[in-house]
Amino acid sequence: MRTKAVVMIENSTSGRLFHAAAKRLGYLPILLSEDAGKYRDLDPGDLVTVFAKTRSIEAVVEVCERLQTTLDIQAILSSSGAHAVVAAGACRVFGLAGADPDAISRCQDKFEQRTRLKAAGLPTPSYKYATTPGNAAEFAAAVGLPVIVKPVVGSGSMGVRLCSTLPEVRAQTSHLLQAADFATSPGVLVEEYIDGPELSIETMGQAVIGITEKHLGPQPFFVEVGHDFPARLPARVRKQVTLAVATAIDALGLHWGPAHSEVRLGPNGPVIIEINPRLAGDFIPELVRLAYGIDLVEETIKLALGHPIDLAARAKRCAGIRFLNPGRDGVLRWYRDPASARTVKGVVEVEIHALGGAPILRRGDFRDRIAHVIAVTPRSDQTITALEQALALLDARIAELHDQ
């Protein structure tokens, strides 16, 4: 009998959770990657890694066909939004459960997503697809500064910047049009800036699991430095947000699988920033598990396997995460044992992302993080206090390069 396997295409911050869940369910996890060595938390003994050109559906299908000669592949999925359409396309080829590749593709093009949401009558920021720095600056002047300039396709806040002057708009547009990392589109998206608290809504199909309160670092970047689940919201606002996201998901045709939607609470109510056709990253699934007892990672794998899923909450606690980001470039120095942060009541995880002596060169996105702390308690104020205390005990300092 061939071993039953679950194929994962590349990784996200939740990748290791997917590997562990597949093993718990009795399946061999297989990671397809162009460079598995880039994943800092990958345990070589935890799963099988296979090289594949993961941006190509044809290449992934070819590798899976080869694996099928010795393994029984039961599911193909990805924890990375950038590879969601490849996973969906491969599932269609093999007749496996999965999302509609066309719906995923439409959703990942942020300009097309904006257009569809606007056509559905949903609140979205004013926006323009700009192909030159001049186009971008013209729109920014018309809609009013500041504006956000970002790639048409992307995730993890990569390439997203708040621009407060027209020269900044032109410079950021020029950078995105020329940078190899963002060369998937001949244009950029310029958006009206909505000032207000940011939330994310975690869904599975049309079912709303819960709402996450997000904390952002200093502008002009949009690096997420923390999350609280569930968000502290009045019932009226919660209802407005839930209805807007459910309508958006339906308008985009995302009727299968997880989605991670981002919303800002503007002066006139909730405004949809973007819908991501994937499970949330940044350990948000772990916060949901700790707070509600719902393992979204495991339920996603069960869905991909064609098994029944259970989204009923088993607990009502409050979980949160805080990321430690460096304040400047230089060389990282740790001045206290991270174990001290683990002694704080309510703290369940402390993880160091960068070792002492590592060079720090900030990029303005999720890759800047050097550590994180997770806590869970019965009340949100208790969780926030525990996170603040633990973070204060992570004594990291950035030395000048010449101080080595």
Which residues are identified as catalytic? 278
Half-sphere exposure of residue 104: CA atoms within 13 angstroms, side-chain side: 26
- Which residue's entry shows tokens 């995302």? 254
C-alpha 144 chain-centroid distance: 29
Q: Compute the 3-state secondary structure of the chain and give helix, strand, coil in percent, each to the nearest 5.
A: 35, 30, 35
Q: Which 3 state secondary structure label does DSSP give 392?
A: helix
Give 2's DSSP letter.
P
Q: Which two tokens stand for residue 108?
A: 């990942």
CA distances from 124 to 194, 199, 222, 261, 397 (A): 9, 14, 18, 13, 40
- For the CA atoms of 10, 14, 19, 25, the dihedral, rounded to the nearest 10 degrees, stands at -130
Does residue 99 contact residue 108 with C-beta atoms inside 8 Å? no
Widest CA span in the chain = 65
Residue type, 297: V
C-alpha 217 chain-centroid distance: 16
The Cα angle at residue 233 between residues 230 and 238, in degrees rounded to 5? 90
Does residue 292 contact residue 202 with C-beta atoms inside 8 Å? no
Does residue 289 contact residue 335 with C-beta atoms inside 8 Å? no
Nearest to 155 by CA among 192, 117, 200, 207: 200
CA distances from 129 to 27, 38, 148, 250, 384 (A): 44, 33, 12, 24, 39
